[in-house]
Each structure stands twice: as structure tokens, then as C-alpha cells.
Amino acid sequence: MADWKRRVAEKTLRVGVLGLGYVGLPLAREFAGAGLKVLGFDIDDQKVAILNSGLSIIKHVPHEQVKKMREKGLFEATADMSRLREADAVLICVPTPLTANREPDMQFVEKSTQTVARYLRKGQLIVLESTTYPGTTRELMLPILEKNGLKAGRDFHLAYSPEREDPGNKSYTTKDIPKVVGGLTNECKEMACALYEAAIVRTIAVSSLEAAEAAKILENVYRCVNIAMVNELKQVFERMGIDVWEVIGAASTKPFGYHPFYPGPGLGGHCIPIDPFYLTWKARQYGMATRFIELAGEINTGMPHYVVQHVMEALNERKKSLKGSKVLVLGLAYKKDIDDVRESPSIELIELLRAKGAKVDYNDPYIPATHKQREHDLGMKSRKLTGAMLKQYDVVLISTDHSAYDYEWIVENSQLVVDTRNATAGVRKNRNRIVKA
């Protein structure tokens, strides 16, 4: 332990980050920023080549940061997994999606653990960062890692520390977000804490791997349930002629006991629509139902349908039908100012609108074209925004409230705007063209 701490302090410890995506790359940046050498691993050769050329692969990690890491010799990416032996710590940041039946899809965690096991050597610390159900590290990873004869807690060390990254958040980047850490043994936990403390603001040690896994799930269930609650309240208040955004603004002035959540066109991203169902699946093994999660899922997945209904009604008011109408969806990303479309409600909106016979285009300054996803293949390109093109659409649907949009100008040039984010709150002119949904 003393030797580990000394090597962290002297920055001679080599950090391996496995999975260089939205979580892995910012994490690698933080360790390199703290002066530790980082070896990044990914199965995607193209990603590896781009990163090694000094360019970034995600919008909120600028190219200059990758270039600087490379120039200082603090970062290298590789697809050669045998080099895992060079790392003293391996931080695993691979995807944890759902299967088509909405059950945990553990193939990425399983395969990456098998790879780590193949090259595991004495003294290494292995940490899972992916969001998952309580029990994953001990029940799924531990047996795979021990199958070649090395014993966890004695020959190598095992910990779980969830990534709490919030892409696009300018106030909190990876290094500012305290890290919850659970270890298989006390020593595993202390080694992981010592490592993270070199690069991250603070660590919070918890008593077990499972407590750390559950903490991350709690955070995401909390968001999912509260977003569902305001989505439901939006619909109730609308019937009563009350603006939910005004109400949230007023309630938010309470200095304690209230935290604002905002309604929207549906849940998006890699985390909130997915992670709670990891717990639902695990709870079933204990004969328990997660009713809050199920109910929240029901309300949140209904939101795109609610929005489409409002688009139809707004067109109807103007003696038009959705079938044959031209619709421009503004924003494809699942939230403002990022370039991530995973689980984005905009995609579902486009599919629902198309299914009802609308001719749909989209604009997103950060997503020039759609690419094939597991369940979707829209085959679309972002349309350039001009005043003349906006006028051609029967309705402009604001799905993502990117800061780059000039909402006054958009409303001025549109026939009808359906706003799912209250993005047009500050627009003064032509308010009769705006419908909130």
C-alpha cells in the first residue's frame, strides 16, 4: 500500500483506461492532466488512430486537450490488449445498454473483463466504472478475473467506482465530481482511493462494492422518477391552464427541500432511460418489484406521443393535418449543447411523425448526419438553417434547446413553433406562433 501511494505521488504509476468513449476519454484526460501516464484501450481501431493523431472524438473534450496530452507523452491509445500488462491500474469504462427485451446487456463488461483476465498480472488494480446493477463486480467480474489462478485481494485488487460524468456541464467536469469508491477488500478500496485522489477532487469510500454500485443507480433512479413526476404535472397543469415552467420557477425559489427537474419530450442518453432497469432486473431475483421505476418509465416513454399529439392539434387549429405536413425538428442530441444522440427522444419523435405521414427534416449544429444505431437508422442529414428554409415548414418542433439557436429569429421566420423545452420563454414577438408541448 505504501509503495502504491508513493508511486501515485511520484507519478510513476501507469493508468490504463479501457473503453475510450464519453466516460473513458475525459477520465484519461484527468489522469494525464495530473501528470500520470495513461494508456487508453479500445477495440475501435478508428478511434485509436484518431486519438493518437492528436484529435478528439467527442465535442466536450476539445482537440487541443488530446493534442497536449499526446505532445507531453502522457497519453497513448491502443487496440493491442496485450499491453494491458503495462498498466498498474485498469479502469473499465465500457457500455452497459439494455437488450431488446430491456434486460441488462452485460456483453461489454463480460468481454472486457475476459480481456483483462487474459493479461492480468500480480499487483494490478482493476476498477469497473460502468453503471450497473449491485452485484456485478463480485458476481460477474470476480470469477472471470480469478479463473487463471490469481486471487483477488491478494494477487490483484478489485474495486468499483461509478463514473458520474455529465457531458456538457460547464460547472462540473470529471475532475470536479467526487468519486464514490467500493472495494473487494479494504486494501482494494484504499488503493483505488489513492489513485483517484491524484486526479479527482475527492473520494468517498463506502463499505462494499455493492454500496458503490447501488449509489450510482440511486442517483439515476432519482432523476428518472423526478423527471417523470414533472412530465406528469406538465400534463395535469396544462389541462388547468397553468404553465408548468412558471410553476417550477416559482417553486425553485424555496431555499431548501426542493430541487427543480424539468419536463421534456422524453428521456434520453445512455443513463437515465436505461440504468434504472438494471435495478428492476436485479430486484426481480429478490422477488421485488421496483414500482416507482416502472411507473416513471411508463410516463417518460409516453412523452414523445404527447408531443406528437400537440403537433397534430396545433396544425389542426391552423386547418392542416399532420399527414403531408412538413416538420423541422430542431435538435437531435438528447440534451442541449452536446453531440450524443443515444436514446434521444428526437429520434422517436421523427419516427412517430413519419409514421403519421409527415415529411420530416432535422437540424442540429452538432450532428451533421445520423448514423445507424442498434434500433434506428434514420438516414438523414442536418438541414442548414436559413430564414427562407424555416418558412417552408408547416411546423418547427423544438426538441433540444441548444444554446446556439437564436429563438427570436427562429420564431420570426417560422409559421408555427411547437416548443417542448420552454426554449422560447424569452421570445417577445410573434408569441401567437408558439405552442408549448
Return residues touching ligand NAD (CB under 6 A).
18-24, 41-44, 47, 93-96, 108, 111-112, 115, 130-131, 163-165, 167, 270-271
271 catalytic per annotation:
yes
Q: Which is nearer to ligand NAD, 27 or 397 (CB)?
A: 27
Nearest-approach distance from CB 94 to ligand NAD, in angstroms: 4
The residue among 75 and 306 lying less far from ligand NAD, judged by its C-beta, is: 75
Q: How far is the CB of 262 from ligand NAD (least distance, A)?
A: 18
Among the listed residues 129, 132, 38, 133, the one whose alpha carbon sits nearest the alpha carbon of residue 77: 38
The answer to whether the beta carbons of residues 158 and 136 sit under 8 Å apart is no
Query: Residue of minimal CB distance from ligand NAD?
Result: 21
Task: Name every residue whose Cβ is closer than 8 Å to that of residue 300 and which is 6 or more positions away in sequence.
Answer: 224, 227, 228, 231, 266, 267, 273
Give me the phi and psi of 418, to 5 degrees please. -105, 120
Residues 189 and 182: beta-carbon distance below 8 Å: yes
Cell (9 digits) for 374: 442498434
State the nearest-atom distance from the C-beta of 132 to ligand NAD, in Å.
7
Shortest Cβ 36–ligand NAD spacing (Å): 20
The nearer residue to ligand NAD, 270 or 402, going by C-beta atoms, is: 270
* Beta strand 157-160 pairing with 179-183: antiparallel
**Three-class SS of residue 405?**
coil
Whole-angstrom Cα distance, residue 88 to residue 90?
Answer: 7
DSSP notation for 292-318: HHHHHHHHHHHHHHHHHHHHHHHHHHT
Q: 108 vs 262, which CB is nearer to ligand NAD?
A: 108
Q: Which phi and psi angles does 280 have, rounded to 5°? A: -55, -45
Closest CB 250 distance from ligand NAD, rounded Å: 30
Catalytic residue among 188, 193, 224, 271: 271
C-beta closer to ligand NAD: residue 154 or 371: 371
Going from the C-alpha of 276 to that of each of 23, 281, 293, 374, 391, the distances in angstroms are 19, 9, 6, 20, 41
What amino acid positions are annotated as catalytic residues? 271
